[in-house]
Amino acid sequence: MAQAALILQELKRCKVTDVIGLPDNSSSALLELLRQDHSIRLHSVTREGEAFALAAGLWVGGKHPLVLIQNTGLLESGDGLRGTLLRMRIPILCLVTYRGYAKTQGNSGSVPEKLNAEVLSRPELDSVALMTEPTLNAWGLPFDFLHTDDHVSKIPRVLAKAEERSSPTVLLVTRDMT
């Protein structure tokens, strides 16, 4: 698991100006630190699609925002992502908490590669976890994983990739931040 304080330090080093997101259990520690530390503005939204629109507006206005949402919200907000960040070629890093990842990893070998209704309805699996990576691939979004404190150092590289591509990138946070 990654410590929220280390993530916040890295975001400051990368000159992130704003974090836009919707609270979830996995990101609550980071959100609490952001509420206490006013060096990065925190913007809460009611739907994840709003996060992409707000991030686009901030970026156009010269800011360096980051989107912080859960994978369930990422899938829900696909058109907001497509219609703003992808279409406008806006280089935003999306920190996406990966609900169901650990459960899926615990069933390694038993998860079929082809998704269908039978697989997606299996009670021992979280269907959003099964759909996250295939969806990111279908959208052409590069992604990497943040599993532990050691992986916090990936943040600048994933941000640089977004700038290089003029397109959003995703860092999947696979465990609750502490």
Predicted confidence (pLDDT) per residue in 146-173, tens digit = 999 999 999 999 999 999 999 999 999 9
3-state DSSP call for residue 110? coil
| Domains of the chain, first to last | 4-173 (3.40.50.970)
Residue 45 has pLDDT above 90, yes or no: yes
Alpha-carbon span 131 to 178, nearest angstrom: 26
3-state DSSP call for residue 72? helix
Alpha-carbon span 41 to 31, nearest angstrom: 11
Amino acid at 119: V
Mean pLDDT check: name the lowest of 37-46, 105-114, 117-126: 105-114
CA 74 to chain centre: 8
* Cβ–Cβ under 8 Å, residues 26 and 2: no
**pLDDT score, position 106:** 67
Helices (H), the chain: 4-13, 28-36, 48-60, 71-76, 78-80, 101-106, 117-120, 127-138, 154-165
Residue 111 has pLDDT above 80, yes or no: no
Alpha-carbon span 50 to 79, nearest angstrom: 11
* Cβ–Cβ under 8 Å, residues 172 and 143: yes
3-state DSSP call for residue 43? strand
Residue 123 has pLDDT above 90, yes or no: no
Residue percentage of the chain with pLDDT more than 70: 96
